[in-house]
Structure 1
Amino acid sequence: MELLTINNVWMMICTALVFFMHTGFAFLEIGLTRQKNTLNILFKNIFIITIGLLLYALVGFNLMYPGFADGSSGIIGFAGFGLSSPLTAEGALDLTYNSGYTYWTDFLFQGMFAATAATIVSGAVAERMKILPFMIFAILYVGFVYPIAGSWKWGGGFLDQLSTPFYDFAGSTLVHSVGGWAAVVAVCLLGSRIGKFKNGEIQAIPGHNIPLATAGVLILWLGWFGFNGGSVLSADPTLTSLTLVTTCLSAAAGGVIAAIVSTIMYKNLDLTMFLNGILGGLVGITAGADQMSPTDAILVGAIAGALIVFAVSLIDKLKLDDPVGAIAVHLVCGIWGTLAVGLFGNLAGVDQFISQLIGVACYAVFCLVTSFIILFTLKKTMGIRVSEREEIEGLDAHEHGMEAYPDFRLNEH
């Protein structure tokens, strides 16, 4: 009982840290975008975490952990609506649920992850997507797509049943790429912001508060102590400590290499690239944080940092407008981190690498198809993009009828 209490307390602390990450996402997103859209972005972020938790309690948790029966396809299952009370017949806590944490802690910890996928999309579509279609998309993606995809590995589904099981410790693919693939579809269907591409030239649209974006990244880094540390699913001292070390070293390496590569390429010290390099290192290590040595973690993070710079450049050349670099950070580095499990660390090997490729491909197809169906349907029925006037004058005024900084308005037209 004492060990259960210790493990459970650690898991609850990690749950709080992952919840705090939503503050980091909000700060980063508003910092890298224009002042006139701040309220719109904050509204979306608050909506995602609130509706996400409710949906996860109603259907998501039991879609993600359906208890696949022996011999089932392991593709989709459902354990019923709502949360069941894990108590014994005498009304006491059922200690047979898990030696590391209680049923309620399990639900809340996993629920914090669920909303992240839609938050990733929020950043990619910032400054030009209508609020109502985004809310509908978030409900469908967080409520159904994410938990079904998650069940394939974490719920004991078909990817976990491969001869060499697909491995994703804390969600480089299951969380970050799931959001990243949807972000690609959304950006393609939406089109670029007005003024982003002129006469074939890429135009920078600076964010209005880089200090806030910097604070957001540091908060996210702190939150990753819970994101990866909690994914140990206990307070095991050795494994938890190693996971936090590899997480931090990968983040540091990602930031440093992104800063160096971007300086060589663009001849300026770009703080935003430095920040995204840190996030790329965090996303990259997430799939195998418990399997890597410190040296492996530095290599994984360093490669992720370099990939960020090249991915941002490629995305711009493809005329895809991603205001916060969400696709480069969460999709590109999510894929890299997932494949890295087969290249570095304790699980490295040909069979594991093939399993990682299979997993990446399955999630790519599922997420591209489902997000396209949802967003294309919304585009054809109610429209997903605001009018030119609304975009120029700002979504805060037109979608919400108020301003984030009423006493410090800047003329941003």
Structure 2
Amino acid sequence: MLLLLVQALAVDPAPGPNDSPADNSRSLLQTSGTGSGTSQPYNYSSSDFVLLNGFLIFFMQIGFVSAESGQGRAKNVRNILLKNSVNIMLCAICWWAVGYAFAYGNSSGGFIGTSRFFSDGESFGSKPWFFTWTFCLSCVTIASGCLAERTHLFVYPVYTAVVSIAVHPVIAHWVWAPDSWLNSMTGSPCRFLDFAGGAVVHTVGGLTGLIGAMLCGPRLGRFEDGVDKDIPGHDVSSVSLGSLMLWFGWYGFNCGSTYIYMAQGGAEASAAVSRVALNMTLCASVAGMTSLVVASIQSGTFDLAVCCNGLMAGLSASTSNVGFLTPWAACITGALAGLMYVGVSRLLVRMGVDDPLDSSAIHCGSGMLGVLVSGFLAKPSYVLEMVNCNCGGVVYATNGGMQLGMQLLGLSCSMVWTVIWALLTFGTLKKLQLLRVDQQTELAGIDNMEHGGPAYPEFLQRVQSTRPGY
């Protein structure tokens, strides 16, 4: 399957001066084989390239499941697997019915879309339904990790519906609709820059999960008697494998988004995709190394989980700016993301916030950082190429102050909207005593009490014989 996907994503060299327009339309995939062994032209559009990258983003769900189940305890694995599956299915229904319309329908007052409800799957402009759904799905999944191991299964479909209908689509409309209020401000030559969802996906998802984790409270024993007691996961190999699968799928996020901005394709788009892949790889690598080294200085050990989380923090930070940066700026962003992850993770622990996967530190903290980096390091020529406005980061002195101001404005509004809905959703569930499982269920394991038994019965029996309550 992966080999077929790689073959389908193969990009042709730039068309030559003697190529015909028909040849140019095949810039993403040259030929398609037939049963007779011959080869014939295959007209392949930029929308198809975007759609195929959506498959990569959907593949990230396997990475999320693997990393989250590995970080959790064995007695809650069934619950983790089921709630992720529920999130996927319900998010698809909500995005089809209203989410896509709110995000990409005809704008009403620049605030929200009001057309294309119950989408028929056709691509409007350069925004295919499936590709945009995977963005919303990633946002929802990010938030779920913060609530693991002590939350009712009922909570996940509730907040999934809220995020898929009222939070992510509205912010996506503000950020990516050309006639939204944020992109139609008079007197500003700049527009808010969020290349592939650093704010719309990662900050929103991480912040939603953070609010939920704070209202839900820590797992039993996590901060017993005010002392930080780490609760290790049951399978570190799944954590590592999941992180690498997420890294692989993340290329769909950023490379696919390039053709949202440059739907005409051609040599310029091919060059931009190559630059995006390079910047993203550098940012993730530098962030992972930075977090590993900094954490080892503090603890005296080299922690695999910290390294995995650090590289994902770099990926999150790159998502909002990867198309606007030079490689050296991507390296700087990665170093800052690695530091940001370690710092925010430590801060949340001191505040008594229990985030089993560090999702809020990885996605919210680094997502915010990535948005602000564009205000400092975005190269004006790349911004002009992607969004057709003559602005850049402060270091380039091309309307840099105005660009930084736009980044602060867009990020602040996105966060305020997210916090309002997160507080309403999780606050109401807590008030109704529907947010958290009871103490007996949490100690016995949600799998035992709600899902018919643990995922690994013999393994769990051996573990609990030496570590009661694990």
Which residue of 1 is the match for residue 113 of structure 2?
77
Deviations 1:183-233 (A, max 9, x none): 121011100000001222100100100100100000000001101000012
Q: Provide the C-alpha distance between the structure 1 equivalents of 2:209 and 2:197, rounded to a whole number of angstroms.
A: 16
Match of 1:126 among 148, 155, 161: 148
Aligned-partner residue type, residue 148 of structure 2: A
Match of 2:444 among 389, 393, 401: 393
Q: 2:195 matched to which residue of 1?
A: 169
Q: Does 1:335 align with 2:368?
A: yes
Question: CA–CA distance in 2 between the matches of 1:314 and 1:112?
Answer: 31
Equivalent residue, structure 2, for 1:117: 139
Does the 8 Å CA contact 1:18/1:223 hold for their aligned counterparts?
yes
Please give the alpha-carbon distance, in whole angstroms, between the structure 2 residues aligned to 1:8 and 1:180: 29
Counterpart in 1 of 2:81?
Answer: 42
1:91 is aligned to none
Aligned 1:141-152 pairs, distance under 5 A:
141-152=163-174
The answer to whether the Cα contact below 8 Å between 1:307 and 1:332 also exists between their aligned partners in 2 is yes
Partner of residue 211 from structure 1, selected from 233, 237, 249: 237
Q: CA deviation at 1:84?
A: 4.2
Instruction: Tell me, yes or no, if the aligned pair for 1:232 and 1:240 is still in contact at 8 Å.
Output: yes
> Is the contact made by 2:121 and 2:130 (CA closer than 8 Å) also made in structure 1?
no
- Could you report, residue by residue, the CA deviation over 1:154-193 in whole angstroms, capped at 9, with x for unpaired residues? 1232222232211100011100011111112101110000
Write the distance in 2 (CA, Å) between the matches of 1:8 and 1:356: 28
Which stretch shows the higher mean deviation, 131-140 or 23-32?
Answer: 131-140
One-letter code aligned to 2:183: D
| Pair 1:237-2:270 in alignment | yes
Structure-to-structure mapping, 1:152-301, within 5 angstroms: 152-156=174-178, 157-162=180-185, 163=188, 164-233=190-259, 234=263, 236-301=269-334
* Equivalent residue runs for 1:352-367 within 5 Å: 352-367=403-418
| Runs of 4+ off more than 4 Å | none
> Is 1:368 paired with 2:407?
no
Aligned-residue identity in percent: 31
Question: In structure 2, what residue type is equivalent to 1:240?
Answer: V
Q: 1:403: Cα distance to partner? A: 2.0
Q: Please tell me whether the aligned partners of residues 41 and 122 of structure 1 are also in contact (alpha carbons under 8 angstroms).
A: no
Count, aligned residues: 396
Post-superposition CA distance 1:330-351 (Å, at most 9, x none): 1100000000001113121211
The 3 A distance-change label for structure 1 pair 152 and 398 is same
Uncovered stretches (5+) of structure 1, i.e. residues with no partner? 87-93
Q: How does 1:42-61 map to 2 (within 5 A)?
A: 42-61=81-100
SS in 1 for 2:176: coil
Q: Does structure 2 retain, via aligned residues, the 8 Å contact 1:36–1:394?
A: yes
* CA–CA distance in structure 1, aligned partners of residues 410 and 60 of structure 2: 26
Deviation at residue 7 of structure 1 after TM alignment: 2.1
Give distance in 2, aligned partners of 1:48 and 1:365: 24
1:391 to 1:168, Cα distance in 2 relative to 1, 3 A: same
Counterpart residue number, 1:27: 66
Verify: 1:65 aligned to 2:104, yes or no.
Answer: yes
The Cα of 1:80 is off from its aligned counterpart by 4.3
Query: In 2, Cα distance between the equivalents of 1:287 and 1:342?
Result: 11
Write out per-residue CA displacement over residues 299-336 of structure 1, whole angstroms, 9 at most, x where no aligned residue.
Answer: 10111001111111100000000000011001100000
Structure 1: distance between partners of 2:451 and 2:226: 33
* Secondary structure, counterpart of 1:343 in structure 2: helix
Q: Which of the pair has more CA radius of gyration?
A: 2
- Write the distance in 2 (CA, Å) between the matches of 1:85 and 1:279: 31
Aligned partner of 2:225: which letter? N
Q: Deviations over 1:81-129 (max 9, x none)?
A: 211475xxxxxxx9xx54xx5x6xx110001111112211111010001
TM-score (norm 2): 0.81
C-alpha deviation, 1:239, in angstroms: 0.6
Q: For residue 18 of structure 2, what is the aligned residue in structure 1?
A: none
For 1:240-261, what per-residue CA distance to the aligned partner results, in whole angstroms no more than 9, with x for missing partners? 1110110110000000000011
- Structure 2: distance between partners of 1:378 and 1:225: 36
